[in-house]
Amino acid sequence: MTDKPAVEYRHVYEFHIRFGDIDSQGHVNNVKFLGYLEDARLEMFHGDPVRKGEEPVRGMVISRHEIDYRLPLLPTVYPIRVETWVTEARAASFKLAYEVRDDDNVYAEATSTLVAFDVEANRLRRFTPHERDFIGRYMAPAPDRR
């Protein structure tokens, strides 16, 4: 049993493991976890807002990932989820933290650094006020306030 998950500032992306995610050792391959984080971010910044009629957040590149594998994730017919929140927000970058988990277990914990990028001009940019507001919704409270 673990901490109560999915507090309010966390984005929750639920998904099903695909057969192709399982490797020859019979569990989800370590590489595939980064794909789960990618799809969680895509839902958080694009899919969710688009379905709500909101402006999505685009124009970011991944600068860094850290990931710790906690437990092997075995094939299951039930959904898994990625919970994602913001731990640090700056003018031109921010950090996400993630848990890949179900109700009972955390299979991996990760963080990513994302940088605002102007694809057309091919250079770094600053986040817009709308983007800063969007990112702020997922900002975790400071540890001493939890």
Longest dimension (CA), the chain: 48
* Interface with a copy of itself, residue 42, by CB under 8 A: yes
The residue range among 4-12, 20-28, 127-135, 136-144 that interacts with a copy of itself, by the rule CB under 8 A, is: 20-28
Give the DSSP letter string of 7-70: -TTSEEEEE---GGGB-TTSSB-HHHHHHHHHHHHHIIIIIHHHHTTPPPP--EEEEEEEEEE-
Residue span binding a copy of itself (CB under 8 A) among the ranges 58-66, 81-89, 123-131, 136-144: 58-66
Report the distance separating Cα 140 and Cα 38, nearest Å: 20
Q: How near is the Cβ of 4 to a copy of itself at its closest, in Å?
A: 25
Closest CA to 84 of 143, 124, 37: 37
CB closer to a copy of itself, 103 vs 141: 103
- Strands 106-118, 80-89: pairing is unpaired
Asked if 65 is part of the footprint of a copy of itself (rule: CB under 8 A), the reply reads yes
Instruction: State in angstroms the smallest separation of the CB of 118 from a copy of itself.
Output: 13
Residues that bind a copy of itself (CB under 8 A): 15-16, 18-20, 22-26, 29-31, 34-35, 38-39, 42, 46-47, 50-51, 61-69, 75, 77-78, 119
